[in-house]
């Protein structure tokens, strides 16, 4: 997802024991909610966690199987739908990409700082969500979810 960034960045992804621990937490969360982290769901979550930054669905499809043919698109899209619905991933609309969420099982509003140079994203706590929700209620709306996206350059790309 880089757009011509010519300098190095440290990898924000998870690997080894940290990755396995995060996947174990996800399995436990699913079991607690009477859901299953099926092998395709687990694999898509694993790829998102390993990459640590937004990934397009077709990159997930290509990376799905290290050996053998890639997964079929419906398999990956169904896994992404599950992961989004249950708070394991967010869709970043402006990039048409997905990123793992490590903020816990509770539903929450999400805000992303997205670097237009290197493509890295950082999830932060959004401000003003309560006011937006109140204004929506006054207008007769019920907000299902809020995602805020801000584009700019990360500190490494500014240097």
| DSSP per-residue letters across the chain | --SS--S--------HHHHHHHHHHHHHHHHHTT----HHHHHHHHHHHHH-S-B-HHHHHHHS-SSSSPPPHHHHHHHHHHHHHTTSEEEEGGGTEEEE--S-SS---EEEEEETTT--EEEE--SSHHHHHHHHHHTT------EEEEEE--HHHH-
User: CATH topology for 14-91?
Assistant: Arc Repressor Mutant, subunit A (1.10.10)
pLDDT for res 10 = 74
pLDDT for res 2 = 44
Q: Taking the chain, what is the end-to-end CA distance rounded to the nearest angstrom?
A: 20
Q: What is the CATH number of domain 108-159?
A: 3.30.1490.190
Which tens digit of pLDDT belongs to each residue from 57-93?
999 999 988 766 778 999 999 999 999 999 999 999 9
Q: Could you tell me which residues are beta bridge partners of residue 99?
A: 90
Check whether 43 has a pLDDT greater than 90.
yes
CATH 3.30.1490.190: which residues of the chain? 108-159
Mean pLDDT calculated for residue range 84-104:
91
Distance CA 123, CA 121 (A): 7
Percentage of residues in the chain having pLDDT higher than 70:
94
Of 5, 29, 26, 28, which Cα lies nearest the Cα of 14?
A: 26
pLDDT for res 1 = 46
Residues 6 or more apart whose Cβ sits within 8 Å of residue 27: 37, 42
Check whether 4 has a pLDDT greater than 70.
no
Q: Select the more confidently predicted residue: 26 or 8.
A: 26
Check whether 112 has a pLDDT greater than 90.
yes
pLDDT mean across residues, the chain: 89
CATH 1.10.10.10: which residues of the chain? 14-91
pLDDT for res 75 = 94
């Amino acid at each position: 997802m880089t757009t011509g960034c010519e300098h190095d960045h440290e990898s924000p992804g998870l690997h080894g024991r940290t990755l396995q621990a995060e996947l174990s937490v996800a399995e436990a969360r699913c079991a607690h909610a009477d859901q299953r982290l099926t092998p395709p769901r687990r694999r898509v979550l694993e790829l998102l966690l390993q990459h640590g930054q937004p990934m397009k669905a077709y990159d997930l499809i290509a990376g799905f199987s290290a050996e053998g043919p890639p997964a079929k698109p419906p398999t990956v899209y169904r896994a992404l739908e599950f992961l989004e619905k249950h708070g394991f991933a967010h869709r970043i609309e402006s990039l048409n990409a997905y990123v793992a969420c490590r903020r816990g099982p509770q539903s929450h509003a999400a805000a992303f700082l997205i670097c237009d140079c290197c493509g890295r994203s950082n999830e932060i706590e959004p401000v003003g969500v309560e006011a937006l929700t109140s204004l929506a209620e006054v207008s007769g709306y019920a907000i299902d979810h809020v995602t805020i996206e801000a584009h700019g350059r990360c500190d490494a790309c500014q240097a």
